[in-house]
Structure 1
Amino acid sequence: MAPPPNIAIIGAGPAGLTLARLLQVHNIPCTVFEKDPTPAHRATNGGCLDLHPGSGQEAVKEAGLWDSYQKYARYSGQAYIISDETGQQQLNMRGLDLGRPEIDRPHLRRMLLDSLQPDTVRWNHKLVRVEEATAATKTPPTMHFEGGLVEQGFDLVVGADGAWSKVRDRLCSVPPFYAGLCGYELWFVDPDNACPDVSALTGDGSHWAVGRDERIISLQRQTDRSIQLYAFMRKNERWHQAESGVDDPSDPAQVKAVLLREFAGWAPQFRHAIEAANGIVIPRSLYMLHVGTRWLHKAGLTLIGDAAHLMTPFAGEGVNVAMHDALLLARSILAHPHDMVDQAAEQFEKDMFPRAKVFQQATWDSLQDRFDKDGNEKLAQGFRQVAEEFKNGSYVNDGSKPDALFM
């Protein structure tokens, strides 16, 4: 019997770490290569995530981490407020458990890292390029890292390296494109005491303010009671660099001045929220891959997560599809003989392309709806429908299809 395949995973995000855990549960050797120098390198990993039944939650269960997940899951985070730019509320939904609790990104990463064998992740390894396996010379995939390090000896290299994947560069010549939206991420530290009015505006979950002027403000509660604010607008790709007027995008005063100008016609409570932010500020521009992106298989290489099907966050499906990718790739590897890992990867890709396309399209449609002049009412109506189905017992939350409601 052939020995088990040795798998290299590029990227220690949710997809890569989930795959590593699933492989180790079944005694398949793997190594994760991550460009961050340490697990605590990033100041923020973004906001909370809601893992969906049938995809993200299914991967957690199969990884044997359900009990750990429950320690971090916040069911109160399923509260939603939807309003327009005047502050008029279209929806204020609390007390419903739709089976999609929130988990902070750092908590998800820590849960997955803690589940892995020691030294599974090799930090400070930034991939520069990768070459596929060559059957004629029996050369395995070759990874070239920053600093001149070259790694071989792996039967399969899985690109879980996100939006600007170096593994994808070898498989697909079409890069992500700008989705037409940019803005800023702002944070509130100890808002219950520092700015209680913003804390009340947010609630225990999320508050979406969807304007008729192609602008959105979202506020989202975190486990430690901090709040994350996103302010997004339709702008051209060069707005941050050439038109915003911000010289230092890490300077809260400059960023707030620009946002107050852009949201000049909005209700006082939203403008006050911008002024009251007391944490870090981060410029954000949203990119995506074309709906239905695919590639011809190359020996010893494959992609999962954002590397395979980068989406914007407007349907809440990105991390769920990514973790589901990890689950389905692991299953495919286990279903094939040890010496057929490349065939397992190729079969996974064939199944992934149509599955991911459904979620990519739903995400694109959700983006268009949110920035429509009636986006707030469309979003609220979707939640009302879910709430009614939940109350009458007809709501199905098995994660089998996107509903484009949750972020």
Structure 2
Amino acid sequence: MTADGEQLKVGIVGGGIVGAYTALALSHLPNVSITAYEKSPHPSELGAWIALPNQSIDMLSKFIPIEKINSIAYKGTSDKEYVSRHWKTGEILYTQPTYNRSKPFVEARTHRVALLNLLLEYVPPGIIQYDHKVSEVEFVKNDSKIIIHFENQPSSSEFDLVVAADGIYSKIRHQFNPNTLKYRGSVAYRSVFDESYISHIEGISDDTSNWVSPGGKWVFLSLVGLGQYGIVASIAEPYETFKKLKWNKSIGDEGKKYLIEAFKDWDAVVPQVIEAVPDILAFPLESGNWLHNLVVKERLVFAGDAAHPTAGAYGSGAGFGFSDAWALYRSLQETSSNYWYESTPQASKYNLKLTTFLFNETRRHFLKRVEQQLTIDGLQSKERIQPPTDTDDSEWRSRYLIKRHGGEWIRSHNAEFEFQKIRDQYLVYLQKNLSSFIEAGHGYEQLDELKSAENI
């Protein structure tokens, strides 16, 4: 519990997309001091295009005008904004529907760098400190404070709360959960480039298309906004190839020739785009066990790929991180004494025991269900993978469509509604102990026992 008039000091590890969004969200709270640390010497974002499904659009628009979001994004100009195509013929197999959303809030595609730059426009100046390579965190003063240590800088001052948003290779996650990331068996080859490079190719549509095959390979092609075009191609590669490739590094001319050969028998648009691309980057995909508890000692929380290291799922990897940050923002807002009764901003207090409890309960159930779904998806993929053939592929089409008709609950998950559900579940207990909370920060010692509704 922070004292009257004392600022809540929050440290954020990571200044990428999720770290920047977290800094933006928490900057809207009263009486909070925020410092974020980024290892790069300047703003940078690895990767190529990024999907903005409904979940991401909703979270971003909490703090950024939707017009600004749409100014860096591409949504398509027809009703066929997101389609799946047959690998060889280009025939549309499936059109992903949009449910009850006005055009400004329909999902989109953009470039990761453009998205980070937009976020930084709204993060208050001076919050993010660059060239700070974090090594570990340390709990001090009987776990009431936490310090961040760096490889190349003096240690930080003490924080009340630290958010680990340092990505899939999170050193903070490894400090407390030293499980090793594992190669997922496939490599994503990605590029974003000026759309003029493909202007000569006939047959390119104005939608976002995903060519899929019985053999498990797939290719995404789409405009991504700001005059840019993007490609993502996925191929199952042996472990020997994985060891040779580096994340976000060019595959060069030889790599391009390899991809052209790999997709030579596909719909003619695909190999033509690959040949026209000025450069292609490799992203060997890894993943690890997701955290089932996103909180350590009520002073450290995890967000984004640091919490659920999966290199994306349903195009919602960034959206998961934004939702983590929103849940933390709402949990802090809910447990601020300034939010419970009339006071002045200078008297705001925060109860981190209750904050971290509400945050963890809001996120962990949904994330566990997504992790289970990814296991199911893996089993389904094995069932529908067949050797490519020119003969009748109707059975494969049917298996593919079974898979394609899911996932909306992931892409459109509403973290605010989930928070309200959790908050209301414990509302009676919160009200019963409100006086104790306001006066001394006491009354929540038994929160761990409240995880079962029978104990309320």
- TM bucket (normalised to shorter chain) is 0.7 to 0.9
What is aligned with 1:22? Answer: 25
What is aligned with 2:36? Answer: 32
Contact map agreement 1:172 1:295 (CA 8 A) in 2: no
Distance change (3 Å), C-alpha of 1:204 and 1:90:
closer
SS of corresponding position for 2:8: coil
CA distance in 1, matches of 2:410, 2:305: 26
- Structure 1 counterpart of 2:326, which letter? L
SS of corresponding position for 2:136: strand
What is aligned with 1:124? Answer: 131
What is aligned with 1:253? Answer: 253
- Structure 1 counterpart of 2:239, which letter? E
- Structure 2 counterpart of 1:209, which letter? W
- Structure 2 counterpart of 1:276, which letter? A
What is aligned with 1:211? Answer: 213
How many angstroms does 1:396 deviate by?
12
Contact map agreement 1:35 1:124 (CA 8 A) in 2: yes
How many angstroms does 1:306 deviate by?
0.9
Q: Normalising by structure 2, what TM-score?
A: 0.73
- Structure 2 counterpart of 1:3, which letter? E
CA distance in 2, matches of 1:68, 1:224: 12
Q: Normalising by structure 1, what TM-score?
A: 0.81
Asked if 1:328 is matched to 2:332, the reply is no
What is aligned with 1:233? Answer: 235
- Structure 2 counterpart of 1:307, which letter? A
Relative contact order, higher structure (CA 8 A, sep 6+): 1
Distance change (3 Å), C-alpha of 1:61 and 1:224:
closer
Return 287-296 or 142-151, whichever deviates more: 287-296
Deviations 1:89-126 (A, max 9, x none): 13375997582233432332222211122111111111
Distance change (3 Å), C-alpha of 1:355 and 1:177:
same
1:326-405 matched pairs, under 5 angstroms = 326-337=325-336, 338-366=349-377, 369=380, 372-373=384-385, 399-400=413-414
How many angstroms does 1:132 deviate by?
2.8
How many angstroms does 1:284 deviate by?
0.9
What is the Cα-based RMSD across aligned positions, in Å?
Answer: 3.4
How many angstroms does 1:385 deviate by?
9.1
SS of corresponding position for 1:180: strand
Q: 2:81 aligns with which of 58, 79, 82?
A: 79
How many angstroms does 1:26 deviate by?
1.9
CA distance in 2, matches of 1:368, 1:146: 42
Contact map agreement 2:10 2:35 (CA 8 A) in 1: yes
Gaps of 5+ in 1: 390-394, 402-407
Contact map agreement 1:180 1:234 (CA 8 A) in 2: yes
Contact map agreement 1:18 1:323 (CA 8 A) in 2: yes
Contact map agreement 1:171 1:296 (CA 8 A) in 2: no
Return 262-271 or 226-235, whichever deviates more: 262-271
- Structure 1 counterpart of 2:122, which letter? S
Gaps of 5+ in 2: 337-348, 386-394, 416-456
SS of corresponding position for 2:76: helix
SS of corresponding position for 1:150: coil
What is aligned with 2:275? Answer: 275
Distance change (3 Å), C-alpha of 1:104 and 1:205:
farther
- Structure 2 counterpart of 1:225, which letter? G
Contact map agreement 2:292 2:364 (CA 8 A) in 1: yes
How many angstroms does 1:8 deviate by?
0.5
- Structure 2 counterpart of 1:186, which letter? S
